[in-house]
Amino acid sequence: MRLSFIDEEIVALKEKGRYRFLRRLSTPQDARIVIEGEEVLNFSSNNYLGLANHPEVVAALADFAARYGVGAGASRLISGHMDVHAELEEAMARFKGAEACLTFSAGYMANLGILSTLGDSGATIFSDEWNHASIVDGCRLSRARVEVYRHADVTHLEELLRASSARRKIVVTDGVFSMDGDVAPLPDIVEVKDRHGAILVVDDAHATGVLPPGGRGSADAFGLSGRVEILMGTFSKALGTYGAYLCSTRRMVEFFINKCRPFIFNTGLPPAVAGATLASLGILAREPERLKALWDNERLFREEMGARGRRVESDTAIVPILVGSDGDTMAASRALFNRGVFVHGIRPPTVPEGTGRLRLTLMATHTAGMVRTAAERIDEVLRERGIGNDGTVAAKG
Ligand SMILES: *Cc1c(COP(=O)(O)O)cnc(C)c1O
């Protein structure tokens, strides 16, 4: 009786078509994977540059584990701050053109930390309505008032900033939005936050190692790195490892070391993972052709879809393909899987009601043939279901 609510909730999820379950992968996170025992092309990975299973990154992990052990053994402020953490933080600060860097054990943890530390009781956080769930949860953990502005709507953001009398104002946005792949309008956001004396936090989980010219993130892509107070991002996506960073001034990092609970009370990044991340950064700098291969695949996919009369809205490695209802979305994803192409379906509450979609991601390691196959199969599956460009189902004659 005491636990009957669990059965009820699971039944309700299944009835709504919102039940989630885990799929088993039996290979590295590569362009071709074996998932649920089936070999398929992988178009649902954040391993944008193929670094998650790069031999040099794997060797660095083993090497640093041999030198420092597997776990950090303590939180950073106690005894878990090792040479390799300091080296990684120096390398990241250089890479981002910032004074200093602080690493976290995950992007989720970093966002909880950044927003709860900056957002004290006198503060207001202004957050884009499509920001990542970890930002939403960071806002919840903070003691700040939270105001949500319409997606990428800088006019709305400015209205809210102007109306606010908070003594500390914090604006937070994804750099590349994780479900739609669009880039935040940073030039306008930077101008508006400066006009209203706000601090800007940019989450570059899907921009680091992805956006031109050098994979240094969305602020760098706009030439605005020096004007964003906090550049946050993760190692878990294009860099292929695990963990996250905050790049800012030395003063800001000092503040976080002293005040940020998700940093203070959490064991440091495993040294082996920090070492592997250093290797990833080295490859990213040394092999610009990896980034170029990713952009070539992005362009090729847009062309292939365009040739089939399907518009692609995004100009990053994340491509949303609108389907509509939850049921249609999951059926389309399943039909593609049966034809050897894995593209995950995304449903509410991750995206707004009625905007279920296939969320395709491109990788540098896809061949041109794989990209063409994906476009062809996606078009086939959508056409068979009568799904048009905007996700609407054409009237069946
Ligand atoms: C993935 C992601 C995170 C969380 O990072 P993890 O390292 O996986 O915890 C945070 N923000 C955005 C925008 C993300 O896409």
Domain-wise residue ranges, the chain? 15-44+288-384, 55-286
What pLDDT digit, counting tens, does each position of 39-50 carry?
A: 999 999 999 999
- The Å distance, Cα 162 to ligand 1 centre, comes to 30
pLDDT of 171: 98
Average per-residue pLDDT in the chain? 95
Which pLDDT score, from 0 to 100, does residue 17 have? 78
Q: What is the pLDDT of residue 315?
A: 86
Report, as residue numbers or ranges, the catalytic residues: 178, 206, 237
pLDDT (mean) for 145-158: 98
pLDDT at 137: 98
Does the pLDDT at position 270 exceed 70? yes
Rounded CA separation 75/231 (Å): 23
Are 117 and 260 in contact by the 8 Å Cβ rule? The answer is: yes
The half-sphere exposure of 129 on its side-chain side, counting CA atoms within 13 A, is 11
Is ligand 1 within 6 A of the CB of residue 180? no
Residue matched to tokens 């059965």: 7
Q: pLDDT band at 71, cuts 50/70/90?
A: very high
Span 98-104, average pLDDT: 98
Q: Which two tokens stand for residue 107?
A: 């992007």
Q: Is 244 in the pocket of ligand 1 (CB under 6 A)?
A: yes
> In the predicted model, what is the mean pLDDT of residues 154-176?
98
Q: Are strands 244-248 and 230-234 parallel, antiparallel or unpaired?
A: antiparallel
CATH class, 15-44+288-384 region: alpha beta
Residue 396 reports pLDDT greater than 60: no
Counted residue by residue, the chain has a size of 397
**391 pLDDT band (50/70/90 cuts)?**
low
Best mutation site among 108, 130, 180 for ligand 1, i.e. most ligand atoms within 8 A of its Cβ?
108
Q: Is the pLDDT of residue 90 over 70?
A: yes
State percent of the chain over pLDDT 90.
90
β-strands 38-42, 341-342 pairing: parallel
What is the third-level CATH fold of 55-286?
Answer: Aspartate Aminotransferase; domain 2 (3.40.640)
Residue 316: CB atoms within 10 A of its CB come to 23
d(CA 46, CA 24): 17
Does residue 154 register a pLDDT over 60? yes
What's the pLDDT score for residue 91?
98
> With a 6 A CB cut-off, is 361 part of the ligand 1 pocket?
no
Q: Is 203 in the pocket of ligand 1 (CB under 6 A)?
A: yes
Four-CA torsion 84, 89, 93, 95, nearest 10 degrees: 50
Give tens-digit pLDDT for 318-368.
999 999 888 899 999 999 999 999 999 998 888 888 889 999 999 999 999
187-208 pLDDT, tens digit per residue, is 999 999 999 999 999 999 999 9
- Ligand 1 center to 318 CA (angstroms): 14
Task: Reply yes or no on whether the pLDDT at 305 is more than 70.
Answer: yes
Residue 394 has pLDDT above 60, yes or no: no
Tokens representing 370 are 């794989």
Q: Specify the pLDDT at position 397.
A: 32
Nearest CA to ligand 1 atom 10: 107
Residues in a beta bridge with 353: none
What's the CA gap between 119 and 127, in Å, rounded? Answer: 12
Name the band, by pLDDT with cuts 50, 70 and 90, for residue 395. Answer: very low
Q: Residue 385 half-sphere exposure, CB side, CA atoms within 13 Å?
A: 25
